[in-house]
Structure 1
């Protein structure tokens, strides 16, 4: 029989236990690691334009650059996009659940644009809605002998325990390293890509009057091997801005917005550059690092309202995508995310965001759960501190573009940095249920995929529920006697 103790003693033991649990969850971490791996192959060299990766599909005016993204808030729609080079052609998509019969069709829209002396092909966007969850659909675009056929799989219905595997790619470009990243991702079993900005790097190709536009076309054909078969959730980076007054082009994101549409209106956003979707057990919020975000701007107002729409009982996983990292210990782009951190970090903590994925820095880095919100100019902690309520910040700007790796990390490694390495690769986040997910970062240097950094990510929402239940249990227990699990 357990001996009885006084209520005061019980409360003291209770407080000590709670303090131990909370401090352990925050501070029990290993020292940060800076990888010493040195890549030995494949410099950042563009794939030649005559390479099969950029091949134009056969047939007159055949659809090319096919890509799909989610088309609604909850995953029962897709937007299918493609380009026809010579003439508009039909904007119709035929689709069904059999390879031999297309029972349904949808009509899309078509448009084109000019960029300096470049004139785009005809860009088609077609919304297909009313789809069934967890169903494989086959679709056909184009006409007669030039038509092409693809397929995609819809996600499971919105459910807190719906398993799902996301890939995370950023700063991809169109080099041999880009190809390695894409091929390795396609072997991962990922079902949807969360793309954190900087797609084609077309703005770096100013060698002729039309190269900026043509490099959007080559990139669209390059990624089609994945984008035609599963949704890529798009976010824009600095290389999508394409502000080039010397060419008379001063409308930001012109090429990107014509080519890569998003379901922004489904989440009541006023801009395609910031929006939200729900998919399986995840609520995903896409932010724009290069659009106004301070108080009372449209993006700020929208994000405030969107956080209020998050239902963690249905989608326990809350994920943020943005291009510029908030926490970054690389010399490249150091502190560039400070202004957006000051604006939104407290919201990320208040709403228990699980993970924030970013790109921009051409290296990989993962943080501990930390925050820097306590300092108020006159008092408080002036440096990032452990914070069990904070998200994990992960930079995956390592897709493979021609600018090369960001190989100079700041020394010493700051306390908030858990792991960092200057290599190319991609990540996967495999959600198992409402409580935990498995994360991997996969290095693809030297032609091989190597799972280099991994950990189990626990849902902030359900973890906080468990802490509350644990606290209530011990408060009840302290009235009589102390119990143990």
Structure 2
């Protein structure tokens, strides 16, 4: 049986297609209008009914996936901050009480923002919930993840730099067809900062209504980008991230973070770390101290997949934002290699790019490798800043394509990461080809912890045999 297994494995490796490795795509997209969706468009419509809840969105509410934070806005009056929920549609046996806040930005005054923590949930369970009162009440549902376990399967979507254009809508709708259960969002949400004065707040409201078709039904794991900073002294607005922090709560206290902009969660078999590219991160800062301790807490026996989210990519071969992530790379890359991070997702650059496993940790100003070198213990770096915002695509890649870059294309789209078990995950990048979803880049990802040496040999051989026979993808990392 063992010989048979190794024979199958050798065949499996022999027929692997390296796909698009080392390629700059020649695809040129016929762009949809790269302008924000008009306010009168139906996808931005205010729900019917007096003071009806709107801009509904969910995020994980604790460290392990047994709680959610449900957030919504009422425009006319404070209303109720209560969530009624249960296991059957229309039958709500439980209630949770939330909190209420609002904020001003220049002369804009937000609606009443409700945030409710619903905790003590069962794993792997579908819940139905209701918010609002009377004829204006609205009903939704969500599913909790499986219990934290090394072989728990789970499918994530990855989206960045979304905005609220027709391209954004295309990305959102294609993602909703993917079967993924939660979004890892790598920053730059509404792009409301491209407007001025009261329109900044208005465009946060329209963005919330646009994405509600997904965010009301599944958690989005948020990270902040540069368009969330909103530092506008000419409007008297000098408190960074005011709109984002008021509208999009994160479970930062659950991971003992001191700031909502950086935090960690565990979901199924993944440990997910969210970093802030626009907060202090050098040695001895709060973010640096927190990350140092959080990496030590990661238990790869329970959560074998270690994923990091940030906004600015550490490796990028586009002319846009080239080397902007260098200072964070210098601060943290050695840790990412030491702890064998599997994959790092970033946005910021409005294009797609995937790297090989490389590192530049040996370089210093007086010696070492001056260029990134192949490193099997390093993460794969993937830039997905291609959600569809009004700034358009970053179409100028540096030439020649550097050796660390495996595939790159300037187009709109989203990614999915489907974790199968502790050893393997399937990744796809899906291009929005003039409104059609097209799988363009894909590979099978080997887990950095369980995919090496002795730990791989500890696994049940029948388990590996099943993986080989079931594998549908085209490239292996």
By the TM > 0.5 criterion, same fold?
A: yes
Q: Distance in 2 between matches of 1:356 and 1:93?
A: 35
Measure how far apart 1:445 and its partner are: 2.5
Q: Distance in 2 between matches of 1:76 and 1:307?
A: 22
Question: Secondary structure of 1:461's match?
Answer: coil
Moved runs in structure 1, 4+ residues, more than 3 A?
Answer: 28-31, 465-470
Determine the structure 2 residue equivalent to 1:109: 99
Task: Sort the Cα spacing of 1:100 and 1:159 in 2 relative to 1 into closer, same or farther, 3 A.
Answer: same
**Does residue 223 in structure 1 map to residue 211 in structure 2?**
yes
Measure how far apart 1:463 and its partner are: 1.8
Q: Distance in 1 between matches of 2:29 and 2:321?
A: 22
Q: Distance in 2 between matches of 1:375 and 1:321?
A: 24
Measure how far apart 1:429 and its partner are: 0.1
Q: Distance in 2 between matches of 1:99 and 1:227?
A: 19
Determine the structure 1 residue equivalent to 2:118: 128
Q: Distance in 2 between matches of 1:328 and 1:43?
A: 26
Determine the structure 1 residue equivalent to 2:153: 163
Q: Distance in 1 between matches of 2:83 and 2:321?
A: 42
Measure how far apart 1:185 and its partner are: 0.1
Q: Distance in 2 between matches of 1:401 and 1:278?
A: 30
Q: Distance in 2 between matches of 1:121 and 1:105?
A: 23
Question: Secondary structure of 1:460's match?
Answer: coil
Determine the structure 2 residue equivalent to 1:98: 88
**Does residue 366 in structure 1 map to residue 370 in structure 2?**
no
* Deviation readout 1:244-267 (Å, 9 max, x if unpaired): 000000000000000000000000
Indicate which of 162, 166, 170 corresponds to 1:172: 162
Indicate which of 409, 412, 415 corresponds to 2:403: 415
**Does residue 341 in structure 1 map to residue 308 in structure 2?**
no
Q: Distance in 2 between matches of 1:316 and 1:444?
A: 31
Measure how far apart 1:31 and its partner are: 5.5
Indicate which of 287, 290, 308 corresponds to 1:320: 308
**Does residue 50 in structure 1 map to residue 40 in structure 2?**
yes
Q: Distance in 2 between matches of 1:233 and 1:283?
A: 12
Q: Residues 449 and 455 of structure 2 are in contact (CA less than 8 Å); yes or no, is this contact kept in structure 1?
A: no
Determine the structure 2 residue equivalent to 1:287: 275
5+ residue gaps, structure 2, are: 1-17, 459-477
Indicate which of 406, 427, 450 corresponds to 1:462: 450
Q: Distance in 2 between matches of 1:312 and 1:262?
A: 23
Q: Distance in 1 between matches of 2:51 and 2:415?
A: 36
* Deviation readout 1:23-53 (Å, 9 max, x if unpaired): xxxxx99861000000114131221111111
Task: Sort the Cα spacing of 1:55 and 1:456 in 2 relative to 1 into closer, same or farther, 3 A.
Answer: same
Task: Sort the Cα spacing of 1:403 and 1:29 in 2 relative to 1 into closer, same or farther, 3 A.
Answer: closer
Q: Distance in 2 between matches of 1:180 and 1:340?
A: 32
Indicate which of 390, 413, 438 corresponds to 1:402: 390
Indicate which of 289, 294, 297 corresponds to 1:306: 294
Q: Residues 167 and 426 of structure 1 are in contact (CA less than 8 Å); yes or no, is this contact kept in structure 2?
A: yes
Indicate which of 61, 68, 71 corresponds to 1:78: 68
Would you say how many aligned residue pairs link Structure 1 and Structure 2? 442
* Deviation readout 1:429-476 (Å, 9 max, x if unpaired): 000000000000000021100000000001000123447869xxxxxx
**Does residue 233 in structure 1 map to residue 221 in structure 2?**
yes
Q: Residues 187 and 347 of structure 2 are in contact (CA less than 8 Å); yes or no, is this contact kept in structure 1?
A: yes
Q: Distance in 2 between matches of 1:138 and 1:196?
A: 28
Question: Secondary structure of 2:383's match?
Answer: strand
Q: Residues 53 and 136 of structure 2 are in contact (CA less than 8 Å); yes or no, is this contact kept in structure 1?
A: yes
Determine the structure 2 residue equivalent to 1:381: 369
Larger Rg: 1
Q: Distance in 1 between matches of 2:53 and 2:129?
A: 13
Question: Secondary structure of 1:346's match?
Answer: helix
* Deviation readout 1:135-168 (Å, 9 max, x if unpaired): 0000000011100000000000000000000000
Q: Distance in 2 between matches of 1:120 and 1:243?
A: 18
Determine the structure 2 residue equivalent to 1:65: 55
Q: Residues 32 and 419 of structure 1 are in contact (CA less than 8 Å); yes or no, is this contact kept in structure 2?
A: yes
Q: Distance in 2 between matches of 1:332 and 1:466?
A: 42
Q: Distance in 1 between matches of 2:433 and 2:46?
A: 28
5+ residue gaps, structure 1, are: 1-27, 471-485
Determine the structure 1 residue equivalent to 2:109: 119
Q: Distance in 2 between matches of 1:430 and 1:364?
A: 19
* Deviation readout 1:87-144 (Å, 9 max, x if unpaired): 1100000000011310000000001000001000000000000000000000000011
Q: Distance in 2 between matches of 1:172 and 1:73?
A: 26
Q: Distance in 1 between matches of 2:20 and 2:248?
A: 41
Determine the structure 2 residue equivalent to 1:452: 440
Q: Distance in 2 between matches of 1:335 and 1:346?
A: 17
Report the more deviating stretch, 127-136 or 461-470.
461-470
- TM-align CA RMSD: 1.4
Indicate which of 405, 430, 434 corresponds to 2:418: 430
Determine the structure 1 residue equivalent to 2:249: 261
Indicate which of 174, 178, 181 corresponds to 1:184: 174
Q: Distance in 2 between matches of 1:468 and 1:46?
A: 49
* Deviation readout 1:200-247 (Å, 9 max, x if unpaired): 0000012xx310000000000000000000000000000000000000
